[in-house]
Amino acid sequence: MVEMIYDNNSCNTRELVNSMNEPTPCNFNFTVGEMIEVLKSFPSDLPVITNSFNSGYENIVRPCVIKVKHKPENTYHNGEFQDAKDNDKDTFEAVALRREVRD
């Protein structure tokens, strides 16, 4: 089993591999109940967004609060919301549900 270690509500994770280094089929990072408990730790009025990419589905890593800027003119594969830069105006916070990146 792969265990994810999280840095509180930040988006930083590091992965610990199981002691036998064997792949586990259908290993999910969160169940619905676990995700509900994590989401309860965030302000209830924050929007929830996810990262953009082509097709298929992946596990998600621990949700975190990020600062974003709305860019509705972006194409769908670039995402309607972008990470805000320090000097950006009209930014807001959102809870990000990010996909797990695999090699």
Tokens representing residue 56 in the block:
């298929």
Q: Confirm whether 42 is domain-assigned.
A: yes
On whether the CB atoms of residues 97 and 66 are closer than 8 A, the answer is no
Query: Quick one: which of 99, 96, 46, 93 has its CA closest to 69?
Result: 93
Q: How far is CA 47 from CA 35, 57, 78, 90, in A?
A: 15, 21, 19, 15
Tens digit of each residue's pLDDT, the chain (103 residues) = 334 444 444 454 433 333 444 444 567 788 889 999 999 999 999 999 887 666 677 888 889 999 999 999 988 888 889 999 999 999 999 999 988 887 7
The pLDDT score that the predictor gives to residue 29 is 84
Q: Confirm whether 87 is domain-assigned.
A: yes
Domain limits for position 48: 3-97
The pLDDT score that the predictor gives to residue 25 is 59
The pLDDT score that the predictor gives to residue 11 is 55
How many domains in the chain?
Answer: 1
Which residue's structure tokens are 């992946």? 58
Q: Confirm whether 49 is domain-assigned.
A: yes
Q: Confirm whether 88 is domain-assigned.
A: yes
The pLDDT score that the predictor gives to residue 19 is 40
Q: Confirm whether 103 is domain-assigned.
A: no
The pLDDT score that the predictor gives to residue 51 is 78
Q: Confirm whether 102 is domain-assigned.
A: no
The pLDDT score that the predictor gives to residue 43 is 93
Can you tell me the distance from the alpha carbon of 72 to that of 79, in angstroms, rounded to the nearest whole number?
8
The pLDDT score that the predictor gives to residue 74 is 87
